[in-house]
């Protein structure tokens, strides 16, 4: 991938009761209307955990605890290349809200096939559809 177009992105995977939290991008945003795991860009000088805590406070109004890294996936959207770092997050009983116009939904991994997701999330969604993976990542 062309490093001049490379963007590092962090995304949080909240799992509760066999369901995962997903967000639908606002219609006016780039890739508007598509579903994704909540998160965002890592700013210069910022670590992944710091970026994820900041992004989820801004987007969902919650302070999360960042757990283990679940995977790294690279994807190209035209001339935009992203490297997505997925982390298990814990909401600690806080209720997330789409503060920036995003619709939020708790879904089972199987329900993800009925939603239009960003292509960069596809590999992680496939992994989550394995009951063993979902159980392992739930802790």
Residue range 76-122, pLDDT digits in tens: 988 889 999 999 999 988 999 998 888 999 999 999 999 999 999 98
Q: What is the predicted pLDDT for the residue at 101?
A: 80
Q: For residues 108 and 134, is the Cβ–Cβ distance under 8 A?
A: no
Q: What is the predicted pLDDT for the residue at 31?
A: 87
Q: What is the 3-state secondary structure (H, E, C) of 5-52?
A: HEEEEEEEEEEECCEEEEEECCCCCCCCCCEECCEEECCCCCCHHHHH
Could you report the per-residue pLDDT of 57-83, keeping only the tens digit for each? 999 999 999 999 999 999 998 888 999
Domain count, the chain: 1
CATH number, domain at 34?
A: 3.90.79.10
pLDDT band at 28 (very low <50, low <70, confident <90, very high): confident
Per DSSP bridges, beta strands 6-16 and 80-90 are: parallel
Q: What is the predicted pLDDT for the residue at 55?
A: 96
Q: For residues 115 and 39, is the Cβ–Cβ distance under 8 A?
A: no
> Measured in whole angstroms, how far is the alpha carbon of residue 13 from the centre of its chain?
6
Determine the structural domain holding residue 118 and report its residue range.
Answer: 3-138
- What is the pTM for the complete model shown? 0.91
């Amino acid at each position: 991938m062309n490093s001049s177009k490379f963007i590092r992105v962090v995304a949080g995977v909240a799992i509760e009761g066999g369901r995962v939290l997903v967000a639908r991008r606002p219609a006016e945003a780039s890739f508007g209307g598509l579903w994704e795991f909540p998160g965002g860009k890592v700013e210069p000088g910022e670590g992944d955990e710091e970026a994820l805590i900041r992004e989820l406070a801004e987007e969902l109004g919650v302070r999360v605890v960042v757990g283990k890294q679940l995977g790294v996936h690279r994807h190209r959207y035209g001339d935009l290349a992203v490297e997505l770092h997925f982390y298990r997050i814990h909401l600690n009983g806080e209720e997330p809200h789409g503060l920036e116009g995003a619709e939020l939904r708790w879904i089972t991994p199987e329900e993800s096939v009925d939603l239009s997701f960003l292509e960069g999330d596809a590999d992680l969604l496939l992994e989550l559809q394995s009951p063993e993976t979902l159980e392992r990542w739930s802790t």
